Structure 1
Amino acid sequence: MKKFLLINIWAMLIGFSLLGCQENERMLYEEKPAVYFSTVTEKDSIFYSFASGLKDEDVVSIPVRIIGTSVDKDRSISVEVDPVSTAKEGVHYKNLSKSVVLEAGNIETAINITVMNEDLKNGDVKLILNLKSSEDFDLGYAGSLKAKLVITDQLVKPSYWDMPLSLYYGAYSKAKHRLCIQLQGFDFPEALDYAVIADYMSYGRMVYSYLTQTPIWDEDTQAWITADWSPL
């Protein structure tokens, strides 16, 4: 009798457990999808520098992602400019859409902004974007709903210089950075593209070869920059 009761109790517990799991799954899949910035948080800043002098305009893309599943129709992600932004539309940026399309079948897209090299002599400007809830999406992870883009005409040390660029170019300095732009014909992008690591190895050797013949003077450190590293 006791054995029979124990079996019944275990059966009931397992049944309740299965019902609970099914209910959680139902709530998970029926919950409204949410959107968030997938590569930056409110503590991060994205820098775009015109210091190379190679461009007067460029496009910055800030990835956004959803919590939820893809569907077979286009959906809209809403974004607004935070009023504390110092960047001015039509002067420092343009072509910013307040509604970004997430195409059918996708769970990730990007907010594209054209930045312009105008009126930066008095200092950097900041464009702060806030995601907004919409008919299609709620707001996702707290802390990943705001993105800050800093537009400047000063050189900005790439966030990935210490690793891995230092392996190919040695220690960072603004003087060496300017030389890299001069020899390469382009500045380092804000995010590292691992597909071009081999190119950086080649360019690093080119910078090394130049500095073995022609050291350059660094006004910031008041020192000569030489080929003082071993390129890979």
Structure 2
Amino acid sequence: MNRSLYTFLAGGMLLIVGASCKKESLLTYKSDNNIYFNFIEGTNPATNDLGRHQDTLDITFSFNDASVTDTIINIPVAVTGEASAENRNFNLMVDPASTAKAGTNYELPSSFVVRAGLTQDTVRIRFKRTPELKTTVLSLLLNLADNDQFKANLLYRNRSPQSQTTPIYSTDTVRMKTFKITVGDMLAAGPYWPSYYEYSFGTFSEKKVRLMNQIVGMPLSFWSKPTTTAQERSDVAYYGSFVARYLSDQAYAGNTIFEADGITPMKMGNRFP
């Protein structure tokens, strides 16, 4: 349940994978009015992939230009029961365990509403790019609670919408009334580096990836997703081999490139010993 989506910002706005194909939803006819978080990532209409439910989201400013000072994200919420002809308020609270500070690190609306005619709406959050994010990752933990319009009795659901019709899918669950967001401004390996990049690029370091960006033009957001195409895998091999040769040439010329500690020689992955 602690698995998270590592999300990168571009142009000051959060890029969230759109959910344009058909998605599994909870009962909306003659059921109690419950409200729950309904964040889904990874949908792909071309392959009929319904995506995966998430209860955590990691965002970073580290790939943005210094002129980017904030970003807006929208966290979807959905309700059971029928749509209403009127706006309905729901109760959302910030957990005291959060380390992000209201007003300083983020701004939330003064009230939260599911608009008339809808069974899904969003919570709009503005995150600020504060100096402390260069050294600290902050968290914002949101909790849904009961009010006179909605209950918040739904606790868990399966991560995969396809699990209800295809038992082979994982039974891993996500929380429905709690959502955690972390925000930082530091370059980090993220969840895909070990599986898709480490064999070519070696151990992650900020100095290494910035060097790769400088000498071969690798985008600083390059490793933000799995390599799913032949071109992406070819790019990994190209970047890795180019920088491995560069490091070797520099060492041969008596200019060994070291990691930030000034002691450890920089090296690429086992693919390029």
TM-score (ref. length: structure 2)? 0.54
Which residue among 80, 94, 100 is the counterpart of 1:87? 100
Give the Å deviation of 1:166: 4.6
Higher helix share: 1
2:155 aligns to what? Answer: 141
Q: Is the 8 A contact 2:99 2:139 kept in 1?
A: yes
d(CA) in 2 for partners of 1:96 and 1:193?
34
Check 1:80–1:206 CA distance in 2 against 1; reply closer, same or farther (3 A cut): farther
In the alignment, does 2:199 pair up with 1:158?
A: no
Quote the offset at 1:178 in angstroms.
Answer: 3.4
Cα gap change, 1:34 to 1:50, in 2 (>3 Å): closer
The alpha carbon displacement at 1:90 in A equals 3.2
Structure 2 residue runs of 5 or longer lacking an equivalent are 1-26, 40-52, 157-174, 248-256
Distance 1:165 1:75 in 2: 46
Percent of aligned pairs with the same residue? 19
Pair member with larger Rg: 1
Distance in 2 separating the partners of 1:206 and 1:70: 53
> Structure 1 residues 224, 60: closer, same or farther in 2, change over 3 A?
same
Give, in whole Å, the separation in 2 of the partners of 1:148 and 1:210: 39
The 5 Å alignment of 1:45-64 reads 46-52=57-63, 54-55=65-66, 56-59=68-71, 61=73, 63-64=75-76
Give the superposition deviation at 1:113. 2.3
Residues 36-71 of structure 1: CA deviation (Å, up to 9, x unaligned): 354444xx5x33333345353353636434363663
TM-score normalised by structure 1 residue count:
0.61
Asked if the contact 1:92–1:115 (Cα under 8 Å) also holds between the matched residues in 2, the reply is yes
Q: Partner of 1:111 in structure 2?
A: 123
Unaligned runs of 5+ residues in structure 1 are: 1-25
Instruction: Classify the secondary structure of the residue corresponding to 1:178.
Output: helix
**Structure 2 matches for 1:128-207, cutoff 5 A?**
128-139=141-152, 140-141=154-155, 143-166=175-198, 169-174=200-205, 175-179=207-211, 183-187=217-221, 192=225, 200-201=232-233, 203-207=235-239
